Structure 1
Amino acid sequence: MSASAPAEPRSTSHADTQSLQVIKRNGTLVGFDLSKISVAVTKAFLAVEGDKAAGSARINDAVHRVTEQVIHAIGRRLKAGGKVHIEDIQDQVELALMRAEEQKVARAYVLYREEHARERARHAPVEAHPHLTVKKTSGEIAALYLGLMKLQVEQAATGLEGIDGDSLVDDALTNLYDGIAEEDVLSALIMTARSRIEQEPDYSVVTARLLLEQLRLENAAALNLPISRPLAEIYPQALSAFIEAGIRYELLDEALAAYDLERLGAALKPERDLQFGFLGLQTLYDRYFLHWNKARLELPQVFFMRVAMGLALREDDPNACAIEFYKLLSSFDYMASTPTLFNSGTRHSQLSSCYLTTVGDDLEDIYGAIRDNALLSKWAGGLGNDWTPVRALGAHIKGTNGQSQGVVPFLKVVNDTAVAVNQGGKRKGAVCAYLESWHLDIEEFLELRKNTGDERRRTHDMNTANWVPDLLIERMREDRDWTLFSPSDVSDLHDLYGNAFRERYEYYEALAEQGKINLFRKTPAKQLWRKMLTVLFETGHPWITFKDPCNLRSPQQHRGVVHSSNLCTEITLNTSADEIAVCNLGSVNLAAHIANGELDVQRLERTVTTAVRMLDNVIDINYYAVPQARNSNLRHRPVGLGLMGFQDALYQLGLPYSSPEAVEFADVAMEQLSYFAIRASATLAGERGAYDSYDGSLWQRGILPIDSISLLKNARREGDLSINTNARLDWTPVRELIAQHGMRNSNVMAIAPTATISNIVGVSQSIEPAYQNLFVKSNLSGEFTVVNPSLVRDLKAEGLWDNVMVNDLKYFDGSVQQIDRIPAVLKARYATAFELDARWLVEAAARRQKWLDQAQSLNLYMAEPSGKKLDALYQLAWERGLKTTYYLRSLGATGAEKIAPVSAPQPQVCSIDNPDCEACQ
């Protein structure tokens, strides 16, 4: 509610509160006094605007409007003669100030509340535990003070409902012992609150706030900041202290000291710390905040400002841009990828997300590529390797007059390198090997992840993907043979696609029939396709990706060939011996852009415009471990703006994932994002110039992603492509802008998995459906109970949320389908990934794909897969023009067993939080 449109005061609101009683903090009851609210609000305004403003018309009017809103809110919640706690009244005052957009006054009021809470704690009677003592860091033994624990819980529960602070303290005490370290008392509160998340999602916020208090104390000690002051007051000082310490410890780029740190510190928004859930803040604490001697040097808002400063270093006005970038990141409207969050502003600013390479058919090239993998992985890059050029098993080696051992032995080395170079100890190294489906080693490649066979020819730690040409699908559908070759005999097939590939492939088949090519093998295309799907189900690999759509719709087809995708199958960029493709990723939080039951287009426009600028900056600031990556990135300047929180957006709209309306929303949202992203890149081109290889691109030829569908259609047979090509927006202004300025970036959009950054923001991953409504999530930060807050909200509205419901959700592994008392409309809305028909995932993905110049990480879920279902699903993906697919996730046979009270069914192929997925995001 804006300041210009306050809630209209009701004439009866004051009467409603005449008999209202207020519960004071000591438990006594007093009558409600309206004047105390007006006095408190007035003091907050005067604290910001000074005593000279007392009595001014503006302040009087603002105080009146805020007071009326508070009265209205209390009267609406309580019947006449009810009781309300003093903290609830103060919560409503704080909320009214925020809704009136009086941000500075609201902050003053928050500081006022915090200071008075601490003052009460200092002057309150000492509540010493009768038996327990604590050991201070000095070694001194002192009494355990219950008042401090209660104060910490009280502050953490501010503004939340359903939190039982007293029992939280009591339960925490049962985990303490005499002589416990003083700092471990707060940890006990955190662990106790964490255990209650499954029963009330707001405990996730309580746990996060308690963790924030722990972080505040740790940070204050590390940077010599006042421990007794509230966090909001020390933030500006914390930024300056962190920059100084970070440079001294050689963690930060010295250029950060040139910023106006006082201005940036004043721009920090401490209240945004309250957005975090426990999983998000714990993830930042464990893996993202810079530290020294195991002590965290960053607070959350300082962390976001550090990232923003690193991205604004080369701007004409770096201070203004840093503040703009900070506001976007800290709002959770957009989040940069993990490498950017890890390294922005540091001495090794490797900010790019993923790298794509082509491996040459030469021993020096092969081991050079493995070396490049190690260097790129060291600084948190995800890798996609194209191995198609390497000659097949049995091929002649001219230099030694011997025979090749094929691709597989080298992939074993790649696998072990990924394990050894674990991205600086922050997360596992991750790589995906791609092989085109006509390669003679393809059948052995399919078995790399099997648990049986020669271990020397197995790669259990790396990912694999099929690079499938359209011709194989056509042959499979016609039940014809497929011929496998060694690339040493048919090397140009690697660089051909569409009709050119078809013609050349058939030419080589004719040569083989004539005896002019000796090393080849024929196999029924249907048999090879069936084996691809069989091993995909059994091992989760290789993934199915499609060569021709990736190339025929590539804006950069004039400058090379897309030979593979990346680790997570969303990047489709050219690679060669001279160029390692690089992509720079970030994701829009779609759920944050839903307002009043519809997409907030103006907010999305602001977000996307700033995000594209941030992504473009990554290219110039980035640290490049190998020169081929630098050359490629600066020449073509690709970025990949994606989205996350799609499932949460559907919840807000009240739409089931399995519905035509959800498919339409996927279309509408992606068109808007595409429109703004392409326009932003063209606008940047007007400011900074078009990318070097722009001339001859599809952009330069006036062919946008939606137009490129016709190129794919022309290369397919009649009936092999069925894509909705409807558009809702007028794209003429964007086309004219591109014609005038060109494009700053060769590629603009790609939808990555967002496995970790979605946890930070607290929304559903990427375009994923909900995995389960209640489950335990495991990652490198530990195990976390995850409960679907949207479901809990809707069940509360129906009066259905209670301990019985919690136990039912546990028993049914987070599924609502077998709980009789849940209405059918909620069962449809909260169907989980394995309860959906996977075809809905494909249909929604197809609507997004038409607007994307790259691809999307599309996981497919199937509770009870069969050969027939898999065949139909992947053929549907091909018919809808998808460029790639990602994991096939299926339930193991033991998924129905109730082994643990809260456990997600274990996917047969991989866990839902596979660390590999995090290499891009």
Structure 2
Amino acid sequence: MMDHQQLFFSGFDYGLSNLSIVKRDGRVVPFDIGRIYAAVEKAFRAERKKSAGDNLSKEDLLAIEEITNRVAIKSAALANRGERLEVERIQDLVELTLMELGHHTVAKRYILYRAERGKARTIQNREGASIHMIDRRGNTVPLDLAWIHRMLMEACRGLEDRCLWRDLAEETVRGLYDNIKEEEILQAMILTARTWVEKEPAYTYVAARLMLSKIYQEALLIVPSIHETAAYHRAYFPNYVQYGVKIGRLSPQLLEFDLERLAQALKLERDKQFTYLGLQTLYDRYLLHHEERRFETPQYFWMRVAMGLALNEKSDKESWAITFYDTLSSFLFMSSTPTLFNSGTVHPQLSSCYLLTVEDDLESIFKVISDNAKLSKWAGGLGNDWTNVRATGSLIRGTNGKSQGVIPFLKVANDTAVAVNQGGKRKGALCAYLETWHLDIEDFLELRKNTGDERRRTHDMNTANWIPDLFMKRVLENGSWTLFSPSDVPDLHHLYGKAFEKRYLEYEQMADKGEIKLFKRVSAMTLWRKMLTLLFETGHPWITFKDPSNIRSPQDHVGVINSSNLCTEILLNTSAEEVAVCNLGSVNLLAHLDESDNIDEKKLENTINIAVRMLDNVIDINFYPIPEARNSNLKHRPVGLGIMGFQDLLHRKKVPYASVQAVELSDRLMEMISYYAILSSCNLAKERGAYPSFRGSKWDRGLLPIDTIELLEQERGGFVEVDKSRTKDWDFVRKKIKEHGLRNSCLLAIAPTATISNITGVSQSIEPSYKNLYVKSNLSGDFISINPYLVEDLKKLQLWDQEMVDDLKYYDGSVKHIERIPESLKELYATAFEIDPSWLIECASRRQKWIDMGQSLNLYIDEPNGWKISQMYIMCWKKGLKTTYYLRSRAATTVEKSTLDINVRGIQPRWMKSRSPSSNIKVERENKEKNACALDSECESCQ
């Protein structure tokens, strides 16, 4: 032993002289610290490329001594706790200590050494022969255990305190077989990591990092070393763009950018933000591919989208592309799915939603159906207004026959939506709207039933009631309601507020006098009950309110809002000449929290400025499948800025959803977003000019969304229970609008954000937590979803263990009945069905007062009955909501907990019993008759 080693060991005394080590063959030998020193020294020499006769630097010798010292102390501590010291355990301590002290390259050498030594020992099949694998070149070679270790060690880097790469390696190897392909081994590592998410949420990042290796290999065609990946990634970027243009997938305009400058702006480290669900979703449906090969990496994808949105920037478009890239790739703001699909491609259809009105003639009916197909082809979500179409029994003057009404045409529209599946990326999606006085309304309510004449059923199309205020008043007073054919009352659909009420009463009088022959009088309450019963049974039609949508519309000077869109958040004027278009994107609230978990207002303001500019750019760049859409979009220039991650925000701030604090936070946060969004559009108007139809709008008349609540009260004659508090200087906003106008007629809409929330790894939109542990199922497969905030809080209380995992499974993701969890956490982590709906409605009401369009609001009800549901929707109406979305109720069945011990937890409560066998985690697939859009299925039509 060399002098410095002798000096080191002579002073070493940690009580190890009596310790023993268990060898792999079971022999017990004395603890020898010299073997640890020698092994670490070999690793340093291998990394430094020094032979046994060469001297190491003083710094390396000191590092070797420190590592050996720490391993010895840890070994002694383990022994004192009664742990059996085995060779593998000591070697694990060496690896961990090397990484803790930052010697990652030396750790790699040490791992390679261990792997080579252990290969023959640990990788054998039943006959004792070594397992072989087929590498990427098609050669059969011995299984490369060192490669498996390197991959898993790198995937766990920075997560070592929560994720154990060696355990992952052992589990992966256990399932391998002889002559397995290299790509199958990588997939086995990914699957192993993703299955451990239920025990430790951080494994989702491990699985994602392994998935990145697969993507890099596929897109870059080689597998660069860990230290070369970022540089190679940047160097290859121009090739990616040129290749995409060559094969006809990317726009040739992208070649006009300074590609070298953009390449240097790529931040590969941002790939580590992805959860596994987010990255798998991106891989399956967003990354461009050619001949079944993805040729985009995630950072290429973000830059491609950013370049596509910067094409028309007049000055230094590279700077704007980099700004847009940074905003997207940092998950500060996310454009909607059509924008992500198509930006920078040869068909840049970037808009999310299209609203069409059907006129009462065959030419218009089939033109709209044809237009639906063209719009759906390019990933647009569709909302159709069918109220103008005459009702069953109406006279057809041209043939002197009688109409079959609107239902048969809706069947054709439904089948068209199914046939055009948006290029295989996602299902075509359509929502049909009908006003409540239409004579076919009762048949319309039954469209989604699973029984009856199949020719009068639309199982794939969403439906929604377009309800005037007068009907709600009649319900409250238990009055009658008259149904008409629009062919007899042609102006009724285009009136709202007091004007509608006056004209409707006149038509009722005409019916009483016999001047209108075709009508039907029903009890308003009876019809209301049928509407709610079918909503509960089939999930449709949704409840949306015509009058607040129109009365509070900024664009009341250019027409009428006849319906909403597919997801009920877009409220724009439509006509035969104008197909309304909206361009969506959402701010990630979680990404705007500071170190104290408060909203960083300056950061939020900056993000909104960039986001509004990106959304406005969409309007000019967009590919319009039909001229009516282009006409409308360029004339009014509406955009829909929304939010996502609201539940994450509450969890981070330790605020229960069912609380006054959450309501107040909803109010102030939406006020802040509205304030900066309007000012951003005002600044754009100063730079680019106001939107063409600005003159005469409510904006032009000095009326902001907050000012229109009083108009609703006046038109409705009461029945408005909306808080009117405000904190910002709104007079300043009015002054700026008067000076410069606005670039966009509408600015705010909260969409569902199903898919883009998955990509960014946050909770959807304004939704409460569905469950704290469940399996999310979408087009990319099944994914374990666990609430990481709950896990961290339970860890702090030393309550997170296998028993807690099993308890969460047993109680279907609810903490309500787990006795050892404190009440404060039960309140904080109450799930959607455990929160009284009034809290969701009040939060939505506070947001709605600041929003010029609407919000996609799901409602949840546990143990529903008719009275509860009725009161819930009447509250929505009185609280000033413009629309609602799905009514969620619990599934008719749940999964049997076949892997849990009922002797420990008892027999399942009645509400949890199941008629279907098992898995150890509940997969949420709602009964289709109960709820046609199950929570585990993605409602991703808009985002």
Normalising by structure 1, we get a TM-score of 0.88
Q: Partner residue of 1:742?
A: 741
Query: Are 1:803 and 2:822 counterparts?
Result: no
Contact 2:924 2:936 (C-alpha < 8 Å) held by counterparts = no
Instruction: Give the superposition deviation at 1:438.
Output: 0.4
Q: 1:680 and 1:577 mapped to 2: Cα distance?
A: 32
Map 1:269-668 onto structure 2 (within 5 A): 269-316=267-314, 317-595=316-594, 596-668=596-668
Number of the residue aligned with 2:131: 132
Q: Distance in 2 between matches of 1:717 and 1:496?
A: 16
Q: Kindly state the Cα deviation for residue 125 of structure 1 after the two structures are TM-superposed.
A: 3.9
SS at match of 1:383: strand
Q: Is the 8 A contact 1:87 1:158 kept in 2?
A: no
After TM superposition, give the deviation of residue 649 of structure 1 in Å: 0.3
> Which of these two proteins has the greater Rg computed from alpha carbons?
2
Residues of 2 paired with 1:548 and 1:501: CA distance?
Answer: 9
Paired residues, number: 846
SS at match of 1:483: strand
* Counterpart contact for 1:755–1:913, Cα < 8 Å: no
Structure 1 residues 299 and 510: alpha-carbon distance in aligned structure 2, compared to 1, 3 A threshold: same
For structure 1, which segment, 166-175 or 582-591, has the greater mean C-alpha deviation from structure 2 after superposition? Answer: 166-175
Q: Unaligned 5+ residue runs, structure 2?
A: 1-12, 17-33, 49-62, 79-89, 125-129, 895-911
Aligned to 2:867: 868
Match of 2:874, SS state, is helix
Aligned 8 A contact 1:430 1:916 in 2: no
Query: Equivalent residue for 2:31?
Result: none
Counterpart of 1:320, as a letter, is S
Aligned-pair CA distance for 1:917: 1.9
Quick one: which amino acid aligns to residue 548 of structure 2?
Answer: P
Q: Does residue 910 of structure 1 match 2:929?
A: no
Question: Quick one: which amino acid aligns to residue 872 of structure 1?
Answer: Q
Change (3 A) 1:749 1:89: farther
AA aligned to 1:382 is G
1:523-553: CA deviations, max 9, x gaps?
0111111111110001000000000000000
Q: How does 1:141-180 map to 2 (within 5 A)?
A: 141-160=140-159, 161-180=161-180
C-alpha distance in 2 between matches for 1:710 and 1:491: 29
CA displacement at 1:717 relative to structure 2? 2.1
| 1:599-634 superposed Cα distances (whole Å, 9 cap, x missing partner) | 211111111111000000000111100000000001
On the 8 A contact 1:565/1:571 being kept in 2, the answer is yes
- Deviations along 1:344-374, one digit per CA (max 9) or x if unpaired, are 0000000000100000100010000000000
Equivalent position amino acid for 2:893 in 1:
T
1:139 shift after superposition: 3.0
1:284-323 Cα offsets, whole Å, 9 max, x none, are 0111000112111111111101100000011122100000
Cα deviation, residue 167, structure 1? 1.9
1:900 correspondence with 2:906: no
Helix, strand or coil at the partner of 1:517: coil
Partners of 2:684 and 2:94 lie apart in 1 by 52
Contact 1:706 1:725 in 2 (8 A): yes
Give the drift of 1:751. Answer: 0.2
Moved over 6 A (4+): 29-33, 78-94
1:642-677 deviations in whole A, cap 9, x for unaligned? 000000000001011111110111111111111111
Q: How far apart are 1:729 and its partner, in Å?
A: 1.3
Contact 1:860 1:888 (C-alpha < 8 Å) held by counterparts: yes
Which secondary structure state, in structure 1, belongs to the residue aligned with residue 370 of structure 2? helix
The answer to whether the 8 A contact 2:111-2:146 is kept is: no
> What residue identity is the alignment partner of 1:602?
K
Q: Is the 8 A contact 2:95 2:107 kept in 1?
A: no
- One-letter code of the match for 2:932? C
- Superposed CA offset, 1:232-253 (max 9, x none): 2222123212101101110000
Stretches of structure 1 lacking an aligned partner (at least 5 in a row)? 1-17, 41-66, 95-111
Q: CA deviation at 1:217?
A: 1.4
Q: Distance in 2 between matches of 1:86 and 1:764?
A: 39
Q: Does the residue aligned with 1:662 lie in a helix, a strand or coil?
A: helix
Q: Distance in 1 between matches of 2:936 and 2:816?
A: 26
Aligned-pair CA distance for 1:220:
2.1
Q: Which residue of 2 aligns with 1:62?
A: none
Distance 1:577 1:29, change over 3 A: farther
CA contact (8 A) 2:482 2:522 kept: yes
> Identity over the aligned pairs, expressed in percent?
56
1:763 is aligned to 762
Distance 1:609 1:684 in 2: 9
Partner letter of residue 590 of structure 1?
A: L
CA contact (8 A) 1:481 1:525 kept: yes
Partner of 1:393: helix, strand, or coil? Answer: coil
Structure 2 residue aligned with 1:243: 241
Q: What corresponds to 2:7 in structure 1?
A: none
AA of the residue aligned to 1:190: I
Once residues 603 and 459 of structure 2 are traced to their aligned partners in structure 1, the CA distance between those partners, rounded to angstroms, is 44
State the TM-score, normalizing by the size of structure 2: 0.86
Taking structure 1 as reference, are residues 559 and 88 closer, same or farther at Cα in structure 2, changes over 3 Å only? farther
**SS of equivalent residue, structure 1 residue 357:** strand
Please give the residue correspondences for 1:709-724 in structure 2 after superposition, counting only pairs within 5 Å: 709-718=709-718, 720-724=719-723
One-letter code aligned to 2:659: S
The 3-state SS of whatever aligns with 1:263 is helix
Measure, in 2, the Cα distance between the counterparts of 1:386 and 1:413: 15
Q: In 2, are the aligned partners of 1:709 and 1:850 still within 8 Å (CA)?
A: yes
The worse-fitting range, judged by mean Cα deviation, of 147-156 and 905-914 is 905-914
Partner of 1:55: none
Q: What's 1:261 paired with?
A: 259
Seen in structure 2, the aligned counterparts of structure 1 residues 498 and 646 have a Cα distance that, compared at 3 Å, is: same
| Cα distance per residue 1:444-501 (max 9 Å; x no partner) | 0000001111000000001000000000001111111111000001010111000000
The verdict on how the C-alpha distance between 1:815 and 1:668 changes in structure 2, with shifts beyond 3 A counting, is same
Query: Does the 8 A contact of 1:779 with 1:913 survive in 2?
Result: no
Residues in 2 aligned to 1:114 and 1:554: alpha-carbon distance in whole angstroms: 62
Q: By how many angstroms is 1:340 displaced?
A: 0.5
Task: After superposing the two structures, state which structure 1 stretch, 728-737 or 281-290, moved more.
Answer: 728-737
